[in-house]
């Protein structure tokens, strides 16, 4: 989605736009993502203090494989978007948060939309915060049934600690 900087700067009323960005290419190397709908961006653009303000929301739905129990689940997103753009001959050394210097008059918002979207996604997808995962002995989904294996059930609140101990066996004494 592109906008003309000078066109928006001369507006009195905000300009409303709705656009969609294909999201599946963003997950080409992410095996935890099964499918992803296009990102629908509903945005308002207006001039303010010599800048173009772009504010709105990004909505989308992503289907994942849970990294603990391997079941598939979907998550809906409604991500706020808020970026401002000003024109500069040279890009400033220290970029302010959400204030972006641009050189050209025609600005492509797609990279900013994609970045805001990706930042809102989980690094490791989990179907629910207390997902118990798979039994390491029989492989059954411990959310669905309590198997009779000898491994003691770990309090989900201590799961992070258990993961840490698994990864640092040399630290146990």
Tell me the window of 41-49, 98-106, 138-146, 163-171 that interacts with Zn ion (CB under 5 A).
138-146
Query: Is there binding between residue 127 and Zn ion (CB under 5 A)?
Result: yes
Among 135, 154, 156, 159, binds Zn ion (CB under 5 A): 135
Virtual torsion, Cα 9, 10, 11, 17, nearest 10 deg = -50
- Residues ≥6 apart with Cβ < 8 Å to 52: 3, 5, 8, 9, 45, 46, 84, 85, 86, 107
In the complex with Zn ion, the residue whose CB is nearer, 110 or 141, is 141
Quickly tell me which residue has 């739905």 as its tokens.
61
Distance CA 145, CA 57 (A): 40
Among 138, 158, 162, 165, which residue interacts with Zn ion (rule: CB under 5 A)?
Answer: 138
Choices 17-25, 95-103, 123-131, 154-162; region in contact with Zn ion by CB under 5 A: 123-131
Nearest to 38 by CA among 19, 21, 25: 21
Segment 64-83, which members bind Zn ion (CB under 5 A)? 66, 68-69
For residue 68, the minimal CB distance to Zn ion (Å) is: 5
- The reply to whether 149 sits near Zn ion by the rule CB under 5 A is yes
Helix H segments across 31-153? 110-120
Find out whether 112 and 39 touch, Cβ atoms under 8 Å: no
Total residues at the site for Zn ion (CB under 5 A)?
A: 10
Stretch that binds Zn ion, among 51-59, 79-87, 146-154, 159-167 (CB under 5 A): 146-154
Q: Is 131 in the site for Zn ion (CB under 5 A)?
A: yes
Q: Which is nearer to Zn ion, 15 or 149 (CB)?
A: 149
Identify the bridge partners of residue 85 per DSSP, sorted by sequence position.
52, 100
In angstroms, give the least distance from the CB of 121 to Zn ion: 17
Q: For the purposes of burial, counting CB atoms within 10 Å of the CB of 45, is it exposed (0-12), middle (13-18) or buried (19 or more)?
A: buried
| 33 lines the binding site for Zn ion (CB under 5 A) | no
Contacts with Zn ion, residue ranges (CB under 5 A) = 66, 68-69, 127, 131, 135, 137-138, 147, 149
């Amino acid at each position: 989605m592109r906008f003309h900087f000078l066109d928006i700067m001369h507006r009195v009323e905000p300009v409303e736009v709705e656009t969609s960005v294909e999201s599946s290419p963003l997950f080409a190397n992410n095996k935890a993502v099964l499918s992803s709908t296009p990102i629908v961006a509903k945005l308002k653009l207006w001039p303010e203090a010599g800048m173009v303000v772009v504010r709105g929301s990004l909505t989308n739905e992503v289907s994942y494989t849970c990294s603990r129990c391997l079941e598939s689940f979907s998550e809906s997103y409604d991500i706020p978007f808020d970026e401002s753009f000003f024109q500069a001959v040279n890009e400033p050394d220290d970029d302010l948060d959400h204030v972006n210097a641009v050189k050209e008059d025609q600005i492509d918002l797609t990279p900013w939309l994609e970045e805001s979207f990706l930042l809102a996604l989980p690094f490791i997808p989990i179907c629910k915060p207390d997902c118990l995962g798979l039994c390491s002995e029989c492989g059954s989904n411990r959310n669905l049934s309590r198997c009779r294996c000898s491994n003691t059930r770990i309090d989900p609140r201590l799961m992070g600690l258990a993961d840490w101990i698994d990864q640092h066996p040399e630290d146990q004494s």
